[in-house]
A and B are shown apart, each in its own frame.
Chain A
Amino acid sequence: MALASVLQSESVDFSNYGRQRHGFASGLYEAELGLESVGGDRLSFALSTSCSNGDGPDRKIEFLHGTTTLAFKFQHGVIVAVDSRATAGSYIASQTVKKVIEINPYLLGTMAGGAADCSFWERLLARQCRVYELRNKERISVAAASKLLANMVYQYKGMGLSMGTMVCGWDKTGPGLYYVDSEGNRVCGDLFAVGSGSMYAYGIVDSGLKQKDLTVEEACDLGRRAIYQATYRDAYSGGQVNLYHVHSEGWTRVSQSDVLMLHQQYQAEKA
């Protein structure tokens, strides 16, 4: 079967590894719900800290949930904008993290949550997409790619994966944007922002997108400004704004702008 074949022999075999359901798995759930900042709302995009703290001395996994990633569809494709800060508690671990994963020349994935989880599963997705392309002699659709990813991580639901990613691309039905996370959510939409700074980013994009028919320039500017504003107010986001544009020919890396430079630029414009 299509589903079974993807999940079994063809992907990396974790059959014994992670299959035992430890007691802490249920404990993890309660801890997650407690820490959830948006009440008991299941479809929350603000990822919570997971099991890592206090589950044994060697469980110090560095999570990127302190982050802002954003993607939105517009007339000429999809704009993907991310920050580049990684924090471990209040320590800034890095200001130059690459939070956009280039799955293949026409598909992008963003990274929020566990860095290892995101990059591993998205690289696995890249492999699956390539196999699909070779077998079926045509590119995989964004819907199918996001479904493959969602199904892959669903098998590990409750076992401590932390991943909130947006799969962005262009296929024969036009621009595609899906939000996929380790809880098993997979949602199609026109605009998503993920991470601790997402609320600030939403504010900017929501007001900027009111006027329809953005040009590529305007859309890039909007994405850049949204991330900048999020880094301005959110302590856990910062570094540089990496901006990508997905169009019919694939994706292009538009710019990488340091947040401090942007700050000076915008201040100058105000004056």
Chain B
Amino acid sequence: MAARYDRAITVFSPDGHLFQVEYAQEAVKKGSTAVGIRGKDIVVLGVEKKSVAKLQEERTVRKICALDDHVCMAFAGLTADARIVINRARVECQSHRLTVEDPVTVEYITRHIATLKQRYTQSNGRRPFGISALIVGFDSDGTPRLYQTDPSGTYHAWKANAIGRSAKTVREFLEKNYTEESIATDNEAIKLAIKALLEVVQSGGKNIELAVIRRNQSLKLLESKEIETLVTEIEKEKEEEAEKKKQKKST
């Protein structure tokens, strides 16, 4: 049944599916995990770093990219498609600054990216973009924002979200652990992102890449040393929790 309706994406299937868009979403599920958290004065993006080949230079594959001074995004899915989307978004950020004499709001640039993606689901001879994006940043009035877009061109605002491989597991973890106190300070928000990624990433801190934007500051990528420190902190906390539980049980 699906075979006859997935050639040209402009065609609906009889039961109302756009199969190309759904296949694009499958491609996203194959990509490495990315998680985004909206704190009070900070927004955090974390991605699972894919292991590189021995001879490959580590830093050429970046999954977290700045779109402007106050907005950045991470993606899951086809890296090549992401490059195009990021390019267009960067140009739009500057275009907006030129015509409106104001930096983009996070919602505006998300809407632009989503409209771009939707256009590709409704034109001839083109396939949808195979990426979902997490767009974070601060608006000029200081409000932190986190948005997620997917290949169909829809976008939603989130407090915390994950995309890519094992996104469901990470999202469930976040639903359980995202509380007002867990994002009370910047550090706590960063640790929550790491904890969420550690659920699905093997071998710990080496395979995590983290970036933060603080209000009125540009994107900052955390160094691996900092991540290692935080990971050890988290593991210590976990042990203390386990200890406490044991003591409770015995008494």
User: Which A residues contact B (CB, under 8 angstroms)?
Assistant: 1-3, 6, 135-136, 140-141, 143-144, 147-148, 151
Contacts and interface: CB of A to CB of B under 8 A. Distances in A.
A147 B99 contact: yes
Nearest to B112: A2
Contact of B101 (A1, A6, A135, A147): A147
* 7 nearest CB pairs, A to B: A144-B100, A143-B101, A2-B95, A1-B95, A2-B99, A2-B96, A3-B99
Q: Is the interface of B mostly helix, strand, loop or mixed?
A: helix
Nearest to A148: B99
Interface in B108-123: 108, 111
A144 B105 CA distance: 14
B118 to A, nearest CB: 15
A140 B91 CA distance: 21
B15 to A, nearest CB: 33
Contacts of B108: 136
Contacts of B107: 136
Contacts of A3: 95, 98-99
User: What is the interface residue range for chain B against chain A?
Assistant: 10 to 19
A151 B102 contact: no
Given A141-B102, A144-B101, 10 more contacts: A2-B92, A2-B95, A3-B99, A6-B99, A136-B107, A136-B108, A143-B100, A144-B99, A147-B99, A151-B99
Contacts of A143: 100-102
Interface in B59-108: 91-92, 95-96, 98-102, 105, 107-108
* Residue of B98, B100, B111 with most chain A CB atoms under a 10 A cut-off: B100
* Residue of A1, A136, A140, A148 with most chain B CB atoms under a 10 A cut-off: A1
Nearest to A144: B100
A141 B100 contact: yes
A136 B139 CA distance: 13
A135 B92 CA distance: 16
Interface in B170-222: none
Contacts of A135: 111
15 contacts: A1-B91, A1-B92, A1-B95, A2-B96, A3-B95, A3-B98, A6-B99, A141-B102, A143-B101, A144-B99, A144-B100, A144-B101, A147-B99, A147-B101, A151-B99
Nearest to B98: A3
Contact of B105 (A6, A136, A151): A136
A135 B95 CA distance: 17
A141 B96 CA distance: 13
B123 to A, nearest CB: 15
A143 B95 CA distance: 15
Interface in B26-78: none
B202 to A, nearest CB: 42
Nearest to B105: A136
A6 B96 CA distance: 11
A11 B105 CA distance: 24
